Chains A and B, each alone.
Chain A
Amino acid sequence: MTAGEAPPGVTRLGMPKWGLSMREGKVTDWLVDEGEEVAEGEELFEVETEKIDGAVESPAAGVLRRRVAQVGAVVPVGGLVGVLADPSVPDADVDAFVAAFQASFVPEEAEGEAEAPTRTVEVGGRRLRYLERAPEAAAGDPVVLLHGFGGDLNNWLFNTDRLAERRRVYALDLPGHGESSKDVGAGDLAAFAEALGGFLDAVGAARAHLVGHSMGGAVALAYALAHPDRVASLTLVAPAGLGEDINRDYIDGFVAAERRRELKGVLELLFADQGLVNRKLVDDVLRYKRLDGVEAALRQVAGAMYPSGRQTVVLTGELDRLQAPALVVWGGQDRILPTAHADALAGRARVEVLAGAGHSPHMEAANEVNRLVGGFLDELEGAG
C-alpha cells in the first residue's frame, strides 16, 4: 500500500480518502502552477468523487515541483497526484521519487475490503455503529463526532482522518440513524445523551472531546452540562439547542421526502454551494430513508425535538454551568439554524463564523474546520 518513502525535503501529494466508500478521485483543477511556492494549508488541487467534491490542502510548505496527475485524471486513493519539494532538492531526485513511487504503488482496493472499517456495539439494548480511527500510540482523551438530524458518521468524511492524525477519533451513528438500531426511544435530547454516555462506557472512554453538528451539537452540549467530569472539551458545529428558531421546511421536508427530486431540494438547504448536492449524496440519504423503521424514527425525533418548526430544548439558560472549554463553528450562510444563535455562547466559547459556508461547514469548509478543531484540541492538550 505505501510505496516509495519520500526522501528528505520531498512531500508526496496523494489522493485523499474521503469517506468509507471512496476508491478513487478525479483531479478537476490545479490551483497552483509548477514552480510556484505554497504555504502549508494552501489549497493545491480540486478533487471530484462519486459522492462529493472538495479541495486538497498542502500538508507542508514548499514548491510545487510536479503535477503528476493532470486535470481529468482519475487517481486511486493514496495514488500520486503531485510532488512538493524544497527548492534545494534537485530535479533528478524528484523524478526518481516519482518513478520509484509509481513503480511500487498498489491501490488499497481489494486488500482493504477484508477488514470492516466500522464496528458495532450494544448500548441499552440498541446496536450502535461507529468508526474508529487512531494513530499508532494514540494518547489523551478521544474525540467523539456526533452527526445531526438525519445524518450519519459519513458526514464527517472530510474530518475523521485529519483529526485522527494526532488522537483517537470515534464517529458515531446515533440511534435511528445510519446503520444503528432504528429504535430511538423517546427520540429527545435526553435519549440521545443517554446513548452517548452508554457509548463512552462501551468503548472505555472516561472522558472525551465531543464534536457535535446541529442536533449532535445539542446532544454534546446537553451531555456536557449533565456530565462535566466526562467532557474534556466541546466543539459545536452549527449546533441546535441555542434558540427556538429552526428551518421548518428542512425538518418537515427531510422527513416527508420520498423521491429524489423532493429530497434534493431539501438537502440543498444544507449548503451554501448547492452544487455539492450531487446524485450520489441524494441517493445515499434516500437509501437510508428507505430502511424499515427510519421514517418512524425521524418522525419521533422531529416530533420530540422540533414540533411545529420550533426547538423544544433551548439550553441557553444553563450555559453558566458549562465547564468544558468550548469552540463554536458556524457557517455565515446557514439556512437551517440562525448563525446568530452563536451569540448565546459569546464570552464562554471561542466563536468562529465561516462566512462562505452553510449549515454544514465541516463538509463545505472542511479544511478550515479541521484546522480550527485540530488547533483547539492541540491548545487544550498543550495547556493540560
Chain B
Amino acid sequence: MARVITFQKAINEALDQEMARDPSVVLFGEDVAGGQGAGGELDAWGGVLGVTKGLYHRYPGRVLDTPISESAFIGAAVGAACSGLRPVAELMFVDFMGVCFDQIFNQGAKLRYMFGGKARVPMVIRTMWGAGIRAAGQHSQSLYSIFTHVPGLKVAVPSTPYDAKGLLISAIRDDDPVIFFENKVLYTVEGEVPEESYTIPFGEANVVREGDDVSVVAIGRMVGMAQQAAGQLAADGIDCEVVDLRTTSPLDEDSIYETVEKTGRLVVVDEDNPRCGMAADIAALVAQNCFDDLQAPVQMVTAPHTPPPFSGSLEDLYVPSAEKIGEAVRRTTGGKVGARA
C-alpha cells in the first residue's frame, strides 16, 4: 500500500524536496519560519498552521520571516524571481491579497510579456482559501477567479494530497508566476502520496469518477463534495461523472467539453461567489462550444452573492453542500434518468 499522508504534509514534502533539489528555491512570508532569530528556534511554528514546519532548520538562510507587509514581500518575491531565485512566498490568507495587486497584476504577470520574453518570473504564491472554519468574511473567501482573470498568472487549486504535492512541484519548476490555493479545511485530509518527487502538468483536469448521466465539474474542496453527492445519487440510479479541474489557469477546456459531449448535462460546483466566477465562465464556454450536446440548462452550485458569514449556521448554508449538488443534478435530469426528480 502506498504511503498515506495529509494534504498539509504533502505540501511540506513538496517544498522540502524542491529545496533539497534546487538551491535557488527560497521561502518567505509571515511566520513561515515562526521563531527566526529568537531562542527556542526548534519550536519554530513553520507558518500559522505549521505547513512549513521543519524547513527553517533544514535549509539555513532560505526560510525567511517577513514583516506584516504583504505588498513589500510579494514585491520582493517578484524581484527575487526576476533575478535568479525561485521564491515561494506564503501569503497567509488569499483575503489579504488585495494590498499587493499591483505587484502581482502589473509586475509579476506582465514582465515576461513587456520585456519581450527576456524576463522570467518563476514565483509561487501559496495562500489559504475557503470557508468552513468560522473565520468570517476576511479569512474565508475563494477568490481564485480574480487571479484566473489575469493573463500571465497560473492558478492551481488542488483537491487531494496527491495533487497538492505534484502541482506544487510543477508550480515551483514553472517559469511563470503561479498562485497556489490551499484549502484550509483540506489540510487534515489524508491520501496516498508517493515518497518520490513527481509533477502533475498544469491544464489537465482529472476525471475522478466516471459516469454517463450528468457531468459535475468541480474545483478544490468541492471535488470531494461532488463525489459525495455522486455516491448518494448513484443509489437512485443517477450516474454522475465528476471532473476535477485542478488548475483554473490554464483551464482544461477539452476535458470539460468531452464530458459534456458524453453526458449532455452539466453541473458546475464552485465555492466562490457566483458573479464573474469560474462557474459562470465554464457555463459560458459550454454554452458556446457544446450547445448542441446539452439536454438541459447548465446548473451552477456556488456560494451566494454575499460575504462569508461569521455565524456558524449561516456559514454552513453559504458553502455548497452535497445535498445542494444533488438537487442541481436532479434539476438537469428532470426525472428522465434514474429515480424521481
Residues of A in contact with B (beta carbons under 8 Å apart): 20-21, 112-113, 116-117, 179, 182, 258-260, 279, 287, 290-293
CB atoms of B207 and A279 under 8 A apart: yes
Nearest CB of chain A from residue B108's CB, rounded to whole Å? 27
- Residues of B in contact (CB 8 Å), total 14
Question: Which of A258, A259, A291 makes the CB contact (< 8 A) with B197?
Answer: A291
Of A21, A117, A287, A290, the most chain B CB neighbours within 10 A belong to A290
Nearest CB of chain B from residue A66's CB, rounded to whole Å? 26
CB contact under 8 A between A290 and B166, given known A259-B204, A279-B210:
yes
Residues 177-213 of B at the A interface (beta carbon under 8 Å) = 194, 196-201, 204, 207, 210
Nearest CB of chain A from residue B98's CB, rounded to whole Å? 35
Question: Which of B1, B198, B207 makes the CB contact (< 8 A) with A287?
Answer: B198
Task: Kindly state the separation between the CA atoms of A99 and B2 in the bound complex, as whole angstroms.
Answer: 35
Scan B325-340; emit 1 where CB is below 8 A from any A CB, else 0: 0000000000000000
- Please name the residue on chain B nearest to A294 by beta carbon: B198
CB contact under 8 A between A117 and B1, given known A287-B198, A290-B200, A292-B197:
yes
CB atoms of A258 and B198 under 8 A apart: no
- CB neighbours of A259 from chain B (8 A): 201, 204
- CB neighbours of A279 from chain B (8 A): 207, 210
- CB neighbours of A112 from chain B (8 A): 1
Question: Which of B1, B198, B207, B210 makes the CB contact (< 8 A) with A290?
Answer: B198
Task: Kindly state the separation between the CA atoms of A20 and B162 in the bound complex, as whole angstroms.
Answer: 18
CB atoms of A258 and B201 under 8 A apart: yes
Scan B277-310; emit 1 where CB is below 8 A from any A CB, else 0: 0000000000000000000000000000000000
Interface contacts beyond A292-B196, A292-B198: sample of 10 additional A-B pairs, CB < 8 Å, sorted by A: A20-B1, A112-B1, A117-B1, A179-B196, A258-B201, A259-B201, A259-B204, A290-B198, A290-B200, A293-B196
Nearest CB of chain A from residue B325's CB, rounded to whole Å? 21
CB atoms of B199 and A21 under 8 A apart: no
- CB neighbours of A182 from chain B (8 A): 196
Scan B139-177; emit 1 where CB is below 8 A from any A CB, else 0: 000000000000000000000001000100000000000
Residues of B in contact with A (beta carbons under 8 Å apart): 1-2, 162, 166, 194, 196-201, 204, 207, 210
Pairs A–B under 8 Å by Cβ, sample size 26: A20-B1, A21-B2, A112-B1, A113-B1, A117-B1, A179-B194, A179-B196, A182-B196, A258-B201, A259-B201, A259-B204, A260-B204, A279-B207, A279-B210, A287-B162, A287-B194, A290-B166, A290-B198, A290-B199, A290-B200, A291-B194, A291-B196, A291-B197, A292-B197, A292-B199, A293-B196
- Please name the residue on chain B nearest to A289 by beta carbon: B198
- Please name the residue on chain A nearest to B207 by beta carbon: A279
Task: Kindly state the separation between the CA atoms of A259 and B166 in the bound complex, as whole angstroms.
Answer: 15
Task: Kindly state the separation between the CA atoms of A246 and B324 in the bound complex, as whole angstroms.
Answer: 53
CB contact under 8 A between A116 and B194, given known A258-B201, A290-B166, A290-B199:
no
- Please name the residue on chain A nearest to B205 by beta carbon: A260
Nearest CB of chain B from residue A335's CB, rounded to whole Å? 26
Nearest CB of chain A from residue B100's CB, rounded to whole Å? 32
- CB neighbours of B197 from chain A (8 A): 291-292
CB contact under 8 A between A116 and B1, given known A259-B204, A279-B207, A279-B210:
yes
Task: Kindly state the separation between the CA atoms of A256 and B198 in the bound complex, as whole angstroms.
Answer: 16
Nearest CB of chain B from residue A178's CB, rounded to whole Å? 11
Task: Kindly state the separation between the CA atoms of A293 and B166 in the bound complex, as whole angstroms.
Answer: 14
Task: Kindly state the separation between the CA atoms of A287 and B165 in the bound complex, as whole angstroms.
Answer: 12
- CB neighbours of B198 from chain A (8 A): 287, 290-292
- Please name the residue on chain A nearest to B17 by beta carbon: A292
Nearest CB of chain B from residue A101's CB, rounded to whole Å? 26
Task: Kindly state the separation between the CA atoms of A279 and B259 in the bound complex, as whole angstroms.
Answer: 14
Nearest CB of chain A from residue B261's CB, rounded to whole Å? 14
Task: Kindly state the separation between the CA atoms of A179 and B201 in the bound complex, as whole angstroms.
Answer: 21
- CB neighbours of A290 from chain B (8 A): 166, 198-200
